[in-house]
Amino acid sequence: MEDMKSADITIKYHAQEYNEVYTFFSAEDDLSIVKIQTMLALRGLEQKNRIPLVTDDGSGISRTLSRVSYNKWGPDYDDAFGLLTILDNLDKPYDQVLNHMAFANNKNGEKYATLPNVSTFYEYMLGGIESCYQDIAKYGIHDKRQILDSMNEYFQDNEDFIAQMR
C-alpha cells in the first residue's frame, strides 16, 4: 500500500477549547496528539455530533493540525481513522466500508482532508471538543484528579455506546 500524503488541517471551530483540552491532557499525562484527538473523536461519535471541517465558530481563533503529527504517528492515525469510519458506517456493507472508506489513502491525488476516513475522524473530533472541554472546565483546569475521575466515570457509564449503535 502506498503511503498517505498528509496535509495541514486548520480548524476554526472551538479552537481555543481544543487548545485547552490538548494542553490539559498532553502536559502531565504525556498523551500523544493522536490519543487526545481519538478520545475527542470517540466522544463526538458517541454524541452523534459531526461538525464539518469548514465550520467557523466566528471567534477568530484557529488551530492548525500539522501534517508532522501524521508523519510521526501515521500507523496510529490510520488505525484511528479506520476505527471511527467503521463505527460510523455500521449500516453499510462490510466490504464497502473496509475496502473503500476506512483505510482510504490519497494515492490518486485526492485531498487529504476530503478522504472519507480522514474527514470522518476530524469531523467527529470537532464534535467532541465542546463536551470534553466542559467536563474539564466544570472542575477547574487545575483539579486534574477530579477531572480524570469524572471522565473515567463518563466512559464507564457509556462504555456500551458501540453496542447501542448496532
CA-to-CA dists, residue 140 to 28, 30, 31, 100, 158, angstroms: 16, 20, 20, 43, 23
What is the pTM assigned to this prediction? 0.84
Q: Are 22 and 39 in contact (CB under 8 A)?
A: no
CB contact burial 121-153 (16+ within 10 A = b; e otherwise): bbbbbbbbbbbbbebbeeeeeeebeebbeebee
Rounded to whole angstroms, the Cα distance separating 63 from 50 reads: 18
C-alpha cell at 34: 493522536
Query: pLDDT per residue over 139-157, tens digit each?
Result: 666 566 666 676 667 666 6
Q: Please give the mean pLDDT across all residues of the chain.
A: 87
Q: Are 14 and 133 in contact (CB under 8 A)?
A: yes
Q: Percentage of the chain with pLDDT > 70?
A: 80
Query: pLDDT per residue over 43-72, tens digit each?
Result: 999 999 999 999 999 999 999 999 999 999
Nearest to 129 by CA among 16, 12, 13, 18: 18
The C-alpha torsion from 44 through 46 and 49 to 50, rounded to 10°, is: 70
Segment 122-143 shows an average pLDDT of 85
Domains of the chain by residue range: 9-165
For residue 158, what pLDDT is reported?
65
CA-to-CA dists, residue 6 to 47, 58, 83, 131, angstroms: 27, 27, 18, 28
